């Protein structure tokens, strides 16, 4: 007997999407290390450089090393899953807003450096989940925003320029883009 309840089917779909994203990130890093000797990671966001503009779309897939990727994997999986529970179309919309708006803001306003990593998307998902409760005003969204804030609120320190070599700008602009995605995509409820 197979369990084909809607909840089980939805869980399997969400799990497959999250795993596909994580596997893709790891395959790209392995290929970069083994075949390109870390050359791909130089294709990140290069602020105010026309040649670095394509990094807006590429940066979330590129990581400095395995430790960098490991630090992004768990929060990306957890927060990405929470956004995916709103449905795959909404997840695509939120991800697109975060990648494009957060990436363009980083390209326009960040310091001159090579900005790479999925952490901008992680912060975008965090911003979306925190803001969703405020804009949507449903009990579910508020509860999820509070739980997310309690579990991942410490990440908010990552928007401060305290650690050299960390793109706090992509964290900040990802967070703001996630909040903007909640404002733009979610219908307000009274």
Q: What digits encode the pLDDT tens for the residues 81-92?
A: 999 999 999 999
Determine the Cα–Cα distance for residues 144 and 150; give it in Å rounded to an integer. Answer: 10
From CA 103, how far away is CA 169, in angstroms rounded? 10
pLDDT value of position 137: 87
- The predicted model gives 106-118 an average pLDDT of 98
Around Cβ 15, how many Cβ atoms within 10 Å? 13
Band of pLDDT at residue 52, cut at 50, 70 and 90: very high
DSSP calls for 61-95:
G--SSHHHHHHHHHHHHHHHHHHHTT-HHHHHHHH
All structural domains of the chain: 6-185 (1.20.1540.10)
Q: What is the pTM of this model?
A: 0.95
Q: What is the pLDDT of residues 161-190, one digit of tens each?
A: 988 889 999 999 999 999 999 999 998 766
Residue 185 CA to residue 96 CA, distance in Å, equals 12
Integer angstrom CA distances of residue 19 from 14, 31, 60, 150: 9, 18, 16, 25
pLDDT at residue 142, rounded to an integer? 94
What backbone torsions phi and psi does residue 115 show, to the nearest 5 degrees? -100, 115
Rounded to whole angstroms, the Cα distance separating 12 from 14 reads 6
At residue 54, the pLDDT reads 96
| pLDDT confidence of residue 26 | 98
Q: Give the dihedral of Cα atoms 93, 99, 101, 103; nearest 10 deg.
A: 180
User: What distances in angstroms separate CA 140 from CA 8, 9, 129, 132, 190, one per listed residue?
Assistant: 20, 21, 11, 10, 14
Per-residue model confidence (pLDDT) at position 3: 52
Average pLDDT over residues 50-77: 97
């Amino acid at each position: 007997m197979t369990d084909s309840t809607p909840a089980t089917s939805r869980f399997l779909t969400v799990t497959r999407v999250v795993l596909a994203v994580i596997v893709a990130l790891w395959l790209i890093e392995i290929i970069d290390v083994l075949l390109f000797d870390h050359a791909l990671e130089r294709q990140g966001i290069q602020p105010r450089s026309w040649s670095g503009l394509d990094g807006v779309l590429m940066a979330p897939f590129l990581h400095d090393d395995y430790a960098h990727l490991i630090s992004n994997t768990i929060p990306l999986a957890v927060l990405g899953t929470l956004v995916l529970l709103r449905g795959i179309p909404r997840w695509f919309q939120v991800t697109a807003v975060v990648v494009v708006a957060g990436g363009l803001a980083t390209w326009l306003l960040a310091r001159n450096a090579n900005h790479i990593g999925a952490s901008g998307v992680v912060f975008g998902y965090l911003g979306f989940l925190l803001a969703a409760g405020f804009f949507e005003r449903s009990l579910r969204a508020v509860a999820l925003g509070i739980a997310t804030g309690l579990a991942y609120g410490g990440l908010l320190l990552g928007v401060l320029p305290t650690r050299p070599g960390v793109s706090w700008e992509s964290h900040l602009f990802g967070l703001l883009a996630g909040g903007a995605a909640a404002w733009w995509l979610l219908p307000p409820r009274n």
